[in-house]
């Protein structure tokens, strides 16, 4: 990956503001420390979501589907669901519902990158996921990153949604650290020979068509150390604590189950060990997982080694490329995902679910037609 600085031709000027609030000043100091520790960026690849823009939004777009999907079709399917439920539950009248259902029908058959629904533009957007990386490996959460005052370990508690209510504003003032990161990322392109030539060409073209960069909020991903570096073993999370909750699930349920240590889907390492109903070898293995989970609950742990595997909470970041008409859409060489298809049952103009026709008994006419067909093919 290349990153650096280039001329300002065709690019928006960056407005830099000095942080004055104490909390923001601490976050700025943490960002400066992170830059000194990191030798560069480790880029994972593209992620996708959906942004919307109304007529009075100016240059701003609103994220309506989190920019976390692995391929554009996953984001399209999420938009399909968003519009389907709007048609079912929120449409004010038949005309509005018809407009929403027409967009749903289009998403069921086409790989759209943008569509207008009533007075709103919806766009499938593309971001680049990356992380800081230095001599100590991939970046950990920073001291100023959000942590709950009282950690909640109840798996039934819903997590904060990533990008919830996020507004993308290319003209918003930036702190000095944000401005420096934005400038550094403007010329980031795929350059390694492990990328096919069409992918590299798309990356170079994007620098021209979408020369600006908008930074998205940091996310947190559970990774494990491998012989080649750090491998993601979870999706993105909105806070370090949510990633730790995933690590606790990994230790108490996923890994023991994968290794055949749990008798059924309802058991977990802690309860099974406490019950004392397993052989000594299994008990010793479960005890290692439980000890790791106890460490997580005792204090905010960002790295943990259990049974020879080193887990880390990685601070992952995302950047959107931005052009004169807004955020970048998927590139021709991006992974496409499955083909578009219906994912919800049909609705009528009144928002009622339409029954799916069931195959009925064969009629005399059907049998007569089948007989004629068989005779013709003889």
Q: What is the residue whose two structure tokens read 């919806």?
A: 122
Largest CA distance in the chain: 88
pLDDT at 239 (0 to 100): 95
Burial 266-300 (b: 16+ CB within 10 A, else e): ebbbbebbeeeebeeebbebbebbbebbeebeeeb
Q: Which of 290, 311, 288 is nearest to 301 (CA)?
A: 311
Q: Is 72 exposed, middle or buried (0-12, 13-18, 19+ CB in 10 A)?
A: buried
Cβ pair 140, 310 in contact under 8 A: no
pLDDT at residue number 229? 80
pLDDT in the model for residue 2: 47
* pTM of the entire predicted model: 0.87
| pLDDT of amino acid 272 | 94
What the block records as the tokens of 218 is 């940091």
pLDDT of residue 349: 86
Tell me the helix, strand and coil percentages in the chain, rounded to 5.
35, 25, 40
HSE toward the beta carbon, residue 129, CA cutoff 13 A: 20
What residues contact 252, with CB distance under 8 A and at least 6 apart?
Answer: 268, 269, 270, 289, 290, 293
Main-chain phi, psi angles of 351, to 5 degrees: 85, 10
Number of residues assigned to the chain: 378
Distance, in Å, from the CA atom of 234 to the CA atom of 246, rounded to the nearest integer, reads: 8
In terms of Cα–Cα distance, which of 247, 372, 347, 333 is closest to 297?
247
* Phi, psi of 185, deg, nearest 5: -90, -10
349 φ/ψ angles, rounded to the nearest 5 degrees = -65, -15
Per-residue pLDDT of the chain (378 residues; tens, 9 = 90+): 444 444 445 789 999 998 888 988 999 999 888 888 877 788 889 999 999 999 999 999 999 999 999 999 999 999 999 999 999 999 999 999 999 999 999 999 999 999 999 999 999 999 999 998 887 889 999 999 999 889 999 988 888 899 999 999 999 999 999 999 999 999 999 988 888 999 999 999 999 999 999 999 999 999 999 877 888 999 999 999 999 999 999 999 999 999 999 988 889 999 999 999 889 999 999 999 999 999 999 999 999 999 899 999 999 999 999 999 999 999 999 998 899 999 999 998 888 888 765 555 554 444 343 434 343 443
Residue 49: exposed, middle, or buried by beta-carbon count in 10 A (0-12, 13-18, 19+)? Answer: buried
The reported pLDDT for the residue numbered 326 is: 96
First to last CA, the chain: 65
Give the closest residue to 121 by CA, choosing from 46, 67, 59. Answer: 59
Chain centroid, CA 143 distance in Å: 23
From residue 137, alpha-carbon distances to 133, 236, 318 in Å are 5, 18, 18
Token reading at 66: 């989190």
Q: Who contacts 362 (Cβ-Cβ below 8 Å, separation ≥6)?
A: none
- Compute the distance between CA of residue 244 and CA of residue 221 in angstroms, rounded to an integer: 9
Distances (CA, A) of 127 to 27, 120, 213, 260: 23, 21, 10, 38
């Amino acid at each position: 990956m290349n990153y650096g600085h280039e001329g300002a031709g065709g690019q928006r000027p960056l407005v830099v503001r000095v942080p004055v609030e104490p909390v923001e000043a601490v976050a700025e100091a943490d960002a400066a420390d992170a830059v000194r520790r990191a030798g560069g960026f480790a880029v994972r690849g593209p992620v996708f979501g959906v942004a919307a823009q109304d007529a009075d939004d100016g240059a701003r777009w609103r994220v309506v589907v989190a920019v976390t999907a692995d391929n554009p079709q996953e984001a399209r399917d999420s938009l399909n669901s968003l519009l389907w439920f709007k048609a079912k539950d929120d449409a004010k009248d038949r005309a509005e519902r018809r407009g929403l259902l027409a967009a749903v029908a289009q998403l069921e058959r086409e790989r759209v990158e943008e569509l207008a629904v009533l007075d709103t533009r919806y766009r499938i957007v593309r971001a680049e996921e990356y992380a800081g990386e230095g001599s100590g490996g991939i970046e950990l959460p920073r001291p100023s990153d959000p942590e709950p005052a009282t950690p909640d370990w109840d798996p039934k508690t819903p997590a904060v949604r990533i990008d919830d209510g996020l507004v993308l504003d290319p003209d918003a003032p930036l702190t000095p650290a944000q401005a420096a990161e934005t400038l550094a990322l403007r010329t980031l392109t795929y350059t390694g020979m492990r990328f096919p030539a069409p992918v590299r060409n798309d990356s170079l073209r994007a620098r021209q068509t979408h020369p600006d960069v908008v930074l998205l909020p940091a996310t947190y991903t559970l990774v494990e150390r491998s012989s080649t570096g750090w491998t993601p073993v979870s999706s993105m999370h909105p806070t370090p604590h949510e990633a730790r909750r995933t690590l606790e699930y990994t230790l108490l349920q996923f890994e023991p189950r994968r290794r055949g240590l749990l008798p059924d889907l309802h058991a977990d390492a802690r309860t099974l060990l406490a019950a004392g109903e397993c052989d000594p070898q299994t008990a010793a293995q479960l005890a290692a997982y439980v000890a790791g989970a106890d460490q997580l609950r005792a204090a905010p742990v960002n790295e943990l080694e259990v049974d020879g595997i080193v887990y880390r909470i990685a601070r992952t970041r995302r950047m959107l490329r931005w052009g004169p008409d807004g955020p970048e859409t998927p590139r021709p060489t991006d992974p496409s995902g499955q083909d578009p298809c219906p994912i919800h049952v049909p609705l009528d103009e009144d928002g009622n679910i339409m029954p799916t026709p069931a195959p009925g008994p064969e009629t005399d006419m059907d049998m007569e037609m089948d007989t004629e067909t068989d005779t013709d093919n003889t």
